Amino acid sequence: MTRYKSFHAHSVDDPAAFWGRQADRIHWHTPFTQVLDDSRPPFARWFVGGTTNLCYNALDRHLPERGAQDALVYISTETGAERRLTFAEMFVEVNRMAAAMRALGVQRGDRVLIYMPMIPEAVFAMLACARIGAIHSVVFGGFAAGNLATRIDDAEPVLIVSADAGSRAGRVIPYKPLLDDALLESKAPQPKVLLVDRRLAPMPLFPGRDTVYPSAPEPGEPTPIVPCEWLESNEPSYILYTSGTTGRPKGVQRDVGGYAVALATSMDYLFGGKPGDVMFTASDIGWVVGHSYIVYAPLLAGMTTVLYEGLPVRPDGGVWWRMVERLKINLMFTAPTAIRVLKKQDPALLRASDLSSLRALFLAGEPLDEPTATWIARAIDKPVIDNYWQTETGWPMLTLPRAIDGVEIPAPKLGAPGVPVYGYRLSVRNERTGAVCAAGQKGVIALDYPLPPGCMTTVWRDDERYIKTYWSNFIGRMSYSTFDWGVQDGDDFVTILGRTDDVINVAGHRLGTREIEESLSRHPAVAEVAVVGVKDTVKGQVAFGFVVLRDPTRAEQAMDRLALEGELMQTVDRQLGSVARPARVLFVGLLPKTRSGKLLRRAIAALAEGREPGDLTTIEDPSALHQIRAALGFAGQV
Ligand code: AMP
């Protein structure tokens, strides 16, 4: 048996040899001529000259052997809908969608924005884009008009695929009015709009712009076959926007060939997924976990993917476990928040289902606390595997691989997601000097050049921003910053210690505090605002907004304060969507800042969590801290 450490060392010492072998996992229309081109750091090009297609690899390739196997099982506990599609049926649906896109003028390289609830058509649309070489940009359905408009402006789509409505906890959320508002707000050229009508909400159409997608073909209508566009491995497959420190989200751009190879390898080594297995990833297609492990990786591997619209506790906390039994789910993947929610349910609901098909539960997206990890591992009596990654990397950076032939995998340690994954030159570095930290010393988690296949290739249309944001944090070193604090032990295990920047993580959703601040500032009563992340026992973190009003007397009466708080929350709802809504909005006369005017967000967050505010040598006016304390005191009373 080889030790995992040596296996990992080989993968980073000779990446061309390692990834050259993994590339056989996918179909290449024309073979590549070079595994890795690392001549222009920080950019890396994988499988140069090879042509392939993600949709071909996800569907067409499986037809001879698995045409009759389920590719997708859709379950909605919101509408009661259920649908099973074999690979052959998916192939028909994706071709229909691709033909509709072509008919609306979508060409290779064009952007298609997908703003959809969790319905099969969302997956068809993603795969249809991949088929015709269009670049998809999926926007999370929980986002509202403002978020949507920023993304439309940046991606400049020729087509938007959307639907009449989504549904959450039985409440219909109309999408079309949000989309119409976003298009009014946007400055980009007017795209066409293709709409799926679920008959949940009225959907007035704009003639000449909007088309309704036919839910089924006309009787006798032949199935169109749209040929796959063979893309060079490094052409963009998609853009996925993610939050950073500025109010302007970054378009994470991904390639085609590197992504396919990285996902296929991860499905085998990290998840232990085999052709014919059933995988249930409870996330949303609007997030990276949804892109990689609801849509692409399971289908690339010839597995059945389960697409779920609903909550983990509706109609009751047993719903997921009954799905495991009924659909014979082998692999399950979700975020720790979902487990913390389930932990509050009656354990009998869990024991009532036969979980014998389930081999492991994977968790990612936010820190996994030990009590939750222990509780769920005992409750389901299966391995619970934490993995750490981010939108930018597209697949896990730290975890414990499930199984690699001939390789001895280390035993897990509670509290740490695991060891660096093959392909990643991951280290914990001093944030100032860039030197590798000694074991046990806190630093920033960094990745040395080149990033492995599957990771972001650049920021959409902004190479400069890619270099400046990610590759300029360690002076004199070609290292990528994850913006996460971490600490590595003598056995290579890394523990995550939170973000180094102003990004917060609410129930596994990544949000930029700057975006929420900008949204709150739109309210005419607001003069200044600071948003910070505060620890929460269920959601991991929640946002607190501290607001300075133009007219401070407005917050003097408890009733006025409550009314204003409500109005401000609604502003965020309308602008960004309820996921970004602060848990509390508190009013102060002054915000703590440095003498150069920088907000002391960390000090505010510390006070909100009942901790000491830390180093305050640079503070301009210490009385601002008393105001924060007083506001928090007030919050307790109302
Ligand atoms: P996102 O890009 O939305 O996937 O969010 C990525 C961020 O979530 C990371 O940079 C981390 O801060 C956090 N994160 C993701 N997975 C984990 C994990 N397993 N443990 C701790 N934090 C995590």
Ligand 1 atom index nearest CA of 496: 21
**pLDDT of 637 higher than 50:** no
Span 114-133, pLDDT tens digits: 999 999 999 999 999 999 99
Distance 214 CA to ligand 1 centre (A): 38
Distance 6 CA to ligand 1 centre (A): 27
- Confidence grade of residue 304 (pLDDT, cut at 50, 70, 90): very high
Distance 366 CA to ligand 1 centre (A): 5
Please count the structural domains in the chain.
Answer: 2
Mean pLDDT for the chain overall: 95
For ligand 1, atom 1, the nearest C-alpha belongs to 390
In 3D, which of 495, 506, 571 has the Cα closest to residue 534?
506
Q: At 182, which CATH number?
A: 3.40.50.980
Distance 617 CA to ligand 1 centre (A): 31
Ligand 1 is surrounded, with C-beta below 6 A, by 242, 288, 364-368, 386-391, 417, 482, 484, 496, 499, 505, 510
For residues 420 and 400, is the Cβ–Cβ distance under 8 A? no
Ligand 1 atom index nearest CA of 505: 8
**pLDDT of 248 higher than 90:** no
For ligand 1, atom 10, the nearest C-alpha belongs to 390
**pLDDT of 595 higher than 90:** no
Q: Does any domain span residue 219?
A: yes
Lowest average pLDDT, out of 64-68, 219-223, 383-387, goes to 219-223
Q: Which of 169, 194, 229 is the last residue of a domain?
A: 229
Q: Helix, strand or coil for residue 545?
A: strand
Distance 430 CA to ligand 1 centre (A): 20
Q: Which of 175, 206, 229 is the last residue of a domain?
A: 229
Q: Does any domain span residue 328?
A: no
Span 538-578, pLDDT tens digits: 999 999 999 999 888 887 887 888 899 999 999 999 989 99
Q: Does any domain span residue 623?
A: yes
Rounded to two decimals, the pTM is 0.93
Mutation test residue for ligand 1: of 138, 285, 366, 395, the one with most atoms within 8 Å of CB: 366
For ligand 1, atom 13, the nearest C-alpha belongs to 366
For residues 113 and 159, is the Cβ–Cβ distance under 8 A? yes
- Please tell me the predicted confidence (pLDDT) of residue 635: 57
Distance 160 CA to ligand 1 centre (A): 29
- Structural domain span for residue 162: 89-229
For ligand 1, atom 9, the nearest C-alpha belongs to 390
- Confidence grade of residue 347 (pLDDT, cut at 50, 70, 90): confident
- Please tell me the predicted confidence (pLDDT) of residue 183: 98
Distance 390 CA to ligand 1 centre (A): 5
Mutation test residue for ligand 1: of 281, 384, 390, 413, the one with most atoms within 8 Å of CB: 390
Q: Helix, strand or coil for residue 105?
A: coil
Ligand 1 atom index nearest CA of 386: 19
Mutation test residue for ligand 1: of 372, 389, 393, the one with most atoms within 8 Å of CB: 389
Q: Does any domain span residue 34?
A: no
Which residues 6+ apart lie within 8 Å of 577 measured at CB? 140, 142, 143, 144, 147
The vertex-563 CA angle with 560 and 565, nearest 5°, equals 105
CA atoms within 13 A on the CB side of 311: 14
Mean pLDDT to the nearest integer, 6-15: 98
Which residues 6+ apart lie within 8 Å of 461 measured at CB? 154, 251
Ligand 1 atom index nearest CA of 499: 12
Q: Does any domain span residue 338?
A: no
Q: Phi then psi for 599, rounded to 5 degrees?
A: -65, 135
For ligand 1, atom 23, the nearest C-alpha belongs to 366
Distance 573 CA to ligand 1 centre (A): 24
Ligand 1 atom index nearest CA of 242: 2
In 3D, which of 436, 453, 409, 435 has the Cα closest to residue 11?
453
Which residues 6+ apart lie within 8 Å of 571 measured at CB? 519, 520, 522, 523
Q: Does any domain span residue 607?
A: yes
Mean pLDDT to the nearest integer, 586-602: 88
* Cα 542 from Cα 129, distance rounded (Å): 35
Mean pLDDT to the nearest integer, 354-364: 98
Distance 110 CA to ligand 1 centre (A): 30
Distance 417 CA to ligand 1 centre (A): 11
Lowest average pLDDT, out of 83-92, 179-188, 324-333, 602-611, goes to 602-611
Distance 610 CA to ligand 1 centre (A): 24
For ligand 1, atom 6, the nearest C-alpha belongs to 390
Which residues 6+ apart lie within 8 Å of 301 measured at CB? 264, 267, 268, 273, 274, 275, 277
272 phi-psi bin (left φ>0, alpha ψ -120 to 50, beta other): left
Q: At 535, which CATH number?
A: 3.30.300.30
Ligand 1 atom index nearest CA of 417: 19
Distance 444 CA to ligand 1 centre (A): 14
Mutation test residue for ligand 1: of 368, 386, 388, 502, the one with most atoms within 8 Å of CB: 388
Q: Phi then psi for 443, rounded to 5 degrees?
A: -160, -170
Q: Which of 229, 257, 283 is the last residue of a domain?
A: 229
Q: Does any domain span residue 568?
A: yes
> What percentage of the chain has pLDDT greater than the value 70?
99
Distance 365 CA to ligand 1 centre (A): 4
- Please tell me the predicted confidence (pLDDT) of residue 558: 77
- Confidence grade of residue 516 (pLDDT, cut at 50, 70, 90): very high
- Confidence grade of residue 634 (pLDDT, cut at 50, 70, 90): low
**pLDDT of 220 higher than 50:** yes
For ligand 1, atom 4, the nearest C-alpha belongs to 390
* Cα 68 from Cα 87, distance rounded (Å): 6
Lowest average pLDDT, out of 83-92, 457-466, 505-514, goes to 505-514
Span 184-195, pLDDT tens digits: 999 999 999 999
For ligand 1, atom 21, the nearest C-alpha belongs to 367
Amino acid present at 373: A
Span 135-155, pLDDT tens digits: 999 999 999 999 999 999 999
* Cα 188 from Cα 580, distance rounded (Å): 25
Q: Phi then psi for 540, rounded to 5 degrees?
A: 85, -60
- Please tell me the predicted confidence (pLDDT) of residue 244: 78
For ligand 1, atom 18, the nearest C-alpha belongs to 388
Span 378-414, pLDDT tens digits: 999 999 999 999 999 999 999 999 999 999 999 999 8
Which residues 6+ apart lie within 8 Å of 353 measured at CB? 318, 321, 322, 324, 325
Span 370-385, pLDDT tens digits: 899 999 999 999 999 9
Q: Does any domain span residue 487?
A: no
